[in-house]
C-alpha cells in the first residue's frame, strides 16, 4: 500500500521550474532511494513532503493525507532529517531530546522512557550527559535521527543524512537505517553515495532537472544498467583529450570522465542501435597516440543505472 504519493507535483520559483509533474510512489515499509545531481529537485521534493514548502501545483500525500491541506495531521506521522541540523549547543544530549519530546507533547515518566529508547536505538546512551557542541559530525547526525524518532513516526524523510561524514560514521548511520527499516519504518532517503543506497534500499527514484527519469525496484534499475552497453578506459595522460576524441566516434552515445583514486577513468556508453565493435575504442585511442593502461567492460550497479538514465542536466 502506498504511503507516499506525488501526483504531477510541481514547484516553480519565478521562471525556474524546480519540479515538473513529479509522480512517485513509495510503498509502506520500504526504503526508497532518491537520487539525482545537485539542483535536480531532491531537497525541494523532500521539503514539500515534510510540509515545509507548498507545491505550485499538483499534489503530495502522506498516508492518504494531502500536503498543504492536512499538515497538522501529517506532521505527527513524519520525521524529517535535513542534511545539516541546527542544535542548541549549550544543552546536554539528553536535555536536547527532552526538549523536543516536550514539544511533541510527551511528558513525565513516558518522556524519560522515550528519550532513553531513542538514545539506545541510535547508540548515543553513553553520550547522554555530553554537551551537544562536543559531538562529532557523525554523532550529531545520529542525534538528529534520535530527535525525529521521539514521537514514533511512520515515515522518515532523510535529505543526505550521510553528507560530510567520514567512512566509519557513514557505516554507522547506514546500519542504523537498516535497523529502522527492520522495525517497520518507511524511509525516503536522498544521497550521492549510490553504492550505499544500493545496499540499503529496495526501490529507487532517479530525478534530473525536476523530472523523474525512473522509479521502481532496485532490481529493475540494475537491469536497466545491464541493458546499457558500456566500457571503461584508463589512459596514462591527457584524459580530457581522449574523452573528446571518443565523443566524436559514431556509436558512442556518451563519455564521462570520473576520478577513481589516482586514475582518470573514461566511462564510455555505447548506442546499442549502432552496434559499434568495442575493439574500436582501444584501437582509436592507440592510433591517436594515447597510451592505454586499461580497457574493460563497465560496472553493472546503481551508478551505471544513474549514468544510463540521466543526461547530465542540472538546474
Are residues 179 and 52 part of one domain? yes
Is residue 314 a part of any domain in this protein? Answer: no
CA angle 310, 67, 18 (to 5 degrees): 30
pLDDT at 299: 63
Residues 235, 125 share a domain: no
Cα radius of gyration (the chain): 23
SS3 label, residue 167: helix
Of 201, 219, 237, the residue that ends a domain is 219
Specify whether 21 is located in the same domain as 122. yes
Q: What local confidence, expressed as pLDDT, does residue 150 receive? A: 96
Closest CA to 46 of 203, 154, 153, 155: 155
DSSP-based three-state secondary structure for 24: coil
CATH of the domain at 48: 3.40.50.300
Output the pLDDT for position 124.
Answer: 95
DSSP category for residue 261: T
Q: Confirm whether 135 is domain-assigned.
A: yes
Give the chain's residues under pLDDT 50: none
Both 236 and 180 in one domain: the answer is no
Q: Is residue 191 in some structural domain? A: yes
Q: How confident is the model at residue 69, as a pLDDT?
A: 94
Range of the domain at 299: 228-309
- pLDDT for res 301: 60
Instruction: Tell me, yes or no, whether 289 lies in a domain.
Output: yes
Identify whether residues 214 and 234 lie together within a single domain. Answer: no
Considering 219, 245, 273, which residue would you say is the last residue of a domain? Answer: 219
One domain for residues 110 and 248: no
Pair (94, 214) in one structural domain:
yes
Interior/surface letters 56-88, b for 16+ CB within 10 angstroms, e for the rest = eebebbbbebebeeeeeebbebbbbbbbeeebe
Residue that finishes a domain, picked among 186, 201, 219:
219
* pLDDT of amino acid 90: 84
Q: Name the DSSP letter for residue 272.
A: T
**The model's pTM:** 0.75
Q: Is 156 found in the same domain as 183? A: yes
Q: 105 in a domain, yes or no? A: yes
Q: Cα torsion for 234, 304, 162, 171, to the nearest 10°?
A: -80
Structurally, how many domains does the chain consist of?
A: 2
Domain shared by 194 and 87, yes or no: yes
Give the pairing of strands 230-235 and 292-297.
Answer: antiparallel
Q: In this structure, are 214 and 303 located in the same domain?
A: no
Amino acid at each position: 500500500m502506498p504511503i507516499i504519493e506525488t501526483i504531477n507535483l510541481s514547484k516553480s520559483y519565478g521562471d525556474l521550474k524546480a519540479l515538473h509533474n513529479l509522480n512517485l510512489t513509495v510503498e509502506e515499509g520500504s526504503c526508497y532511494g532518491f537520487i539525482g545531481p545537485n539542483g535536480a529537485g531532491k531537497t525541494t521534493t523532500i521539503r514539500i513532503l515534510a510540509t515545509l514548502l507548498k507545491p505550485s501545483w499538483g499534489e503530495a500525500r502522506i498516508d492518504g493525507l494531502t500536503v498543504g491541506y492536512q499538515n497538522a495531521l501529517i506532521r505527527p506521522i513524519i520525521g524529517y532529517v535535513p542534511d545539516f541540523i541546527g542544535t542548541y549547543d549549550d544543552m546536554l544530549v539528553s536535555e536536547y531530546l527532552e526538549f523536543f519530546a516536550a514539544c511533541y507533547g510527551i511528558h513525565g515518566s513516558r518522556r524519560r522512557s522515550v528519550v532513553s529508547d531513542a538514545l539506545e536505538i541510535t547508540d548515543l546512551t553513553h553520550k547522554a550527559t555530553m554537551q551537544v557542541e562536543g559531538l562529532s559530525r557523525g554523532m550529531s547526525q545520529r542525534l538528529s535521527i534520535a530527535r525525529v524518532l521521539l514521537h514514533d513516526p511512520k515515515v522518515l524523510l532523510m535529505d543526505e543524512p550521510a553528507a560530510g561524514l567520514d567512512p566509519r560514521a557513514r557505516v554507522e548511520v547506514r546500519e542504523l537505517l537498516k535497523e529502522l527499516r527492520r522495525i517497520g519504518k518507511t524511509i525516503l532517503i536522498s544521497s550521492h553515495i549510490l553504492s550505499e543506497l544500493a545496499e540499503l534500499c529496495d526501490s529507487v527514484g532517479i530525478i534530473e532537472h525536476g523530472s523523474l527519469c525512473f522509479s521502481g525496484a532496485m532490481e529493475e534499475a540494475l537491469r536497466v544498467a545491464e541493458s546499457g552497453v558500456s566500457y571503461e578506459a584508463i589512459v596514462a595522460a591527457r584524459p580530457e583529450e581522449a574523452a573528446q576524441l571518443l565523443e566524436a566516434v559514431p556509436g558512442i552515445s556518451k563519455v564521462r570522465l570520473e576520478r577513481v583514486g589516482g586514475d582518470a577513468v573514461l566511462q564510455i556508453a555505447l548506442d546499442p542501435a549502432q552496434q559499434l565493435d568495442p575493439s574500436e575504442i582501444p584501437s582509436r585511442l592507440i592510433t591517436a597516440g594515447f597510451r592505454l593502461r586499461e580497457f574493460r567492460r563497465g560496472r553493472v550497479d546503481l551508478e551505471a543505472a544513474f549514468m544510463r538514465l540521466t543526461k547530465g542536466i542540472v538546474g
